[in-house]
Amino acid sequence: MIPQETVQAILDAAQITDVVSDFVSLRRRGANWVACCPFHNEKTPSFYVSPSKGIYKCFGCGKAGSAVGFVMEQEHCSYSEALRYLAKKYHIEIVEEEVSPEETMRRQRRESLLLASEFAQKFFAGQMQSGEGKDIGLAYYKSRGLEDETISRFGLGWAPSGKDSLLQAARAAGYKDEYLLEAGLVTQREDGTLADKFRERAVFPIHSVSGRVIAFSGRALKSDNPAKYLNSPDTPIYTKSNILFGIWFAKSEIAKQDKCIVVEGNVDLVMLHQLGIRNVVAPCGTSFTVQQVRLIHKFTDNITLMFDGDGAGIHAALRAIDMILREGMNVKVVRLPESEDPDSFARKHTLEQYQDFIGANEQDFLSFKTDILLADGAGNDPLKKANFINDIADTIANIPDPVKTSVFVSAAAERFGVESDIIFQRARKTREKLLEEERKEKERQARQRERAADAAGLDEDYSPEADHGDIPQEEQAPSPIYSPENRALAPVEEEILKYMLSYGLEIMKFPFDSQEAKEFKSDPITVTEYISDFLEFHDISLSNTGYRATYEAYLKGYDAGFEQDEILRGMLNSPDRITANITAQLTTEKYNLSMKELSSSLTAPDSWLVSHVPKTLLTYRVKIIDQRIKQLQKELPAAGPEQETALLQQIRDLQEEKKRIQKKIYDKNE
């Protein structure tokens, strides 16, 4: 764990313009800096950086935050990883707080395996400078059309045999045999001796999401080798079903394009990246898995499958479609000509031609499956057609979103000339079956966890997390855009928060004979105290969870006696990224002031806060009452005589209260 003092030192050192300019080209505009947003495609700059506030904000896509939030968003990493990135950038040493001896040993062992893997990658890459590595390995990459820059970028290499083995080089560098064996770099023969696992193979390093080398895929170049591809086994730092080849190089572009292209082969991926299509990943020597789908889901909701055009590629696409839909994602398929794969197709076309082909040939799963039906001649066979429609309905059943389900049911019914109710009924039954299977699987996993916890002597709540190839457990989609649950109250709750975040420590001097001075018996009073007293006095809690968390985070800093800038900085750099994002959103003003803001800026804060803040809070009460009245009116039709009378009385009382509050608002406008 990073000590809090070190965290604070990192946050103090991080300059927002310095951090952002490592990734985008900033231009000064007044007191701020601007650029085209790195998180979405745009031609006109709408991405602003404020050095004085330490905030970035895109007025196009809405992303906002501090330096640490920017690193999380750009690098798709966890809060602690972002801190480590900044610590490295500003040469701040991180001395971990004391942890248990067992945890220390586990971390040290894991780091030793990572270091051994990274040594192996450098060794393999270095082999291509001369000898067989150059004559065979480098020559192979060149024959596939790969350029020097691409080879270097992906860290491609050659695994030799004989006296120049990795085992000998690693031993000479001080790496222990046990780490080489556990990292899957060497194998143990029957006589107990060790030998390189990858020998006489072109080697493709596999990186974790955070960029560490965790495994390898080796391709044999000799025709007499029985195994064309040899992949690292599962190890403490690598689980092949959980990671994707190329994810480290593709993750930012996937998020930016809001789409991930999945191909089957290593060379397919590398060639597409070289061509300029860089939102591409590939499974690591295994079929596409649900864990890999979930990994992609961290960066986008949209997957395009671009498998080989042969029968095996079509079968793999069909299998993947159900899995992707089940995770609530959108899937499309691009069918290449039958004699082509993504690699060969890339070598025959320009970037623009390839992009145009993808755009023109992307199909949703319904069109893709329909084409297969027609190609098979099943469209003229009633029995085959019926089976195929059932298969389509079963695929639709995987979609958890009822709106999307309805759309695809209607489209399938129209395409095949059958009643939509028939397809819907089949999909509903299949959906129920899938949910039941999912329930049973969760129960089975829960029983396994309980048995594991009992065996280990752990608490019942223990839930071991799979090691996803160096992906921290805390990693999540960074800087999420918050969507309020109660949209009717959201605007006024935002207004309340804006007053606190911008003027929370300002003094409100009410006239001694005003209603406010009488009600709160406090003159003067800060904006924060007035708002919190008002909400507490009327027993009101902000209805939207994100805004309530932001409100409570501000009060925590306020009650601790921090200055306004200190409170905001703590909120902006909070591990709670929703609070951090809301804070950034509400404290960043667009360069065009509204008339209200302009008029307010021409007067001292205490001369208009005493009017605006109370009016906002009174308006909030009116909106809450309106919602309560609507709720009671909905209950009337089902109410009995006595209950109806009580409900009507409550509605009348609320309407009278609303009138009194509206009169107060009117008086303040006079």
Same-domain status, 81 and 150: no
Residue 419 maps to a domain: yes
pLDDT in tens, 570-579: 888 888 888 8
Q: Are residues 270 and 414 in the same domain?
A: yes
**Which one has a higher pLDDT value, 316 or 206?**
206
Domain count along the chain: 4
As a whole number, mean pLDDT of residues 496-517 equals 79
Residues 545 and 611 in one domain: yes
Q: pLDDT tens, 405-459?
A: 999 999 999 988 889 999 999 999 999 998 888 888 877 776 765 665 455 443 4
CATH of the domain at 113: 3.90.980.10
Confidence of residue 668 (pLDDT cuts 50, 70, 90): low
In a shared domain, residues 411 and 321 = yes
Q: What is the mean pLDDT of residues 619-640?
A: 88
Residue 245 φ then ψ, to 5°: -65, 130
**pLDDT band at residue 324 under the 50/70/90 scheme:** very high
Residue 624, pLDDT above cutoff 70? yes
The pLDDT of residue 95 is 78
Report residue 636's pLDDT band, with 50, 70 and 90 as the boundaries.
confident
Which residues are bridge partners to 215 per DSSP?
A: 206
Q: Which of 89, 112, 130 is the last residue of a domain?
A: 89
Question: Average pLDDT for residues 334-344, to the nearest whole number?
Answer: 88
User: What integer pLDDT is reported at residue 41 of this predicted model?
Assistant: 81
Per-residue confidence band for 517, with pLDDT thresholds at 50, 70 and 90? low
In angstroms, the CA 575 to CA 72 distance is 10
CB–CB of 293/323 below 8 Å? yes
Phi, psi angle pair for 179, to nearest 5°: -75, -40
Torsions phi, psi of 202, nearest 5?
-75, 130
One DSSP character per residue, 540-578 reads ---SSHHHHHHHHHHHHHHHTT--HHHHHHHHHT-S-HH
Tell whether the model's pLDDT for residue 378 goes beyond 70: no
Mean pLDDT of 380-402: 87
Supply the pLDDT for residue 450.
Answer: 64
- pLDDT band at 232, cuts 50/70/90? very high
The answer to whether residue 472 scores a pLDDT higher than 70 is no
Q: Please check whether residue 190 lies inside any domain of the structure.
A: yes
What confidence score (pLDDT) does residue 518 get?
56
- Which pLDDT does position 597 carry in this prediction? 45
Averaged confidence pLDDT in the chain: 84
pLDDT in the model for residue 465 = 31
Contact 588, 57 (CB under 8 A): yes
Give the mean pLDDT of 131-158: 94
When pLDDT is averaged across residues 327-346 and rounded to a whole number, the result is 90
| CA 64/CA 47 separation, integer angstroms | 9
Q: Is residue 441 part of a domain?
A: no
Q: Which of 525, 505, 522 is nearest to 610 (CA)?
A: 525
Q: What residue type is assigned to position 290 of the chain? A: V
Average pLDDT over residues 608-614: 83
CA-to-CA distance for 120 and 166, rounded, in angstroms? 7
pLDDT digits (tens, 9 = 90+) for 351-370: 999 999 999 999 999 999 88
- Indicate whether 449 belongs to any domain: no
Q: Which pLDDT score, from 0 to 100, does residue 590 have? A: 45
Q: What is the pLDDT of residue 493?
A: 94
Q: What is the CATH number of the domain that holds 45?
A: 3.90.580.10
Distance CA(577)–CA(582), nearest Å, equals 8
Same domain, yes or no: 15 and 56: yes
* Residues 372 and 260 occupy one common structural domain: yes
Residue 453 lies in a domain: no
Instruction: Mark whether 294 and 422 lie in a shared domain.
Output: yes
What is the CATH number for 417? 3.40.1360.10
Residues 660 and 524 in one domain: yes
Same domain flag for 398 and 502: no
Across 113-127, average pLDDT: 95
Confidence at residue 213, expressed as pLDDT on a 0 to 100 scale: 94
Write the pLDDT tens digit of every residue in 88-119: 888 888 877 666 777 778 878 888 999 999 99
525 membership: H or E segment, kind and range: strand 525-526
Percent of the chain at pLDDT exceeding 90: 37
Instruction: Look at residue 224 in the predicted model and tell me its pLDDT.
Output: 67
Q: What is the pTM of this model?
A: 0.64
Task: Provide the domain limits for residue 179.
Answer: 101-238
Please indicate, yes or no, if residue 168 is contained in any of the structural domains: yes
Residue spans of beta strands (DSSP E) within 418-522: 507-508
pLDDT score at 426? 93
In the listed set 238, 271, 288, which residue is the last one of a domain according to the structure?
A: 238
**Residue 422 and residue 273 share a domain:** yes
Helix (H), strand (E) counts: the chain = 29, 19
User: Would 438 be classed as within a structural domain?
Assistant: no
Do 65 and 109 fall into the same domain? no
514 and 630 inside one domain: yes
CA distance 603 to 611: 12
439 within some domain? no
Asked if residues 69 and 86 have their Cβ atoms less than 8 Å apart, the reply is no
Which of 36, 63, 89 is the last residue before a domain boundary?
Answer: 89
Give the per-residue pLDDT at 494.
93
Query: pLDDT class for 467, splitting at 50, 70, 90?
Result: very low
pLDDT value at residue 521: 52
What is the mean pLDDT of the segment spanning 141-154? 95
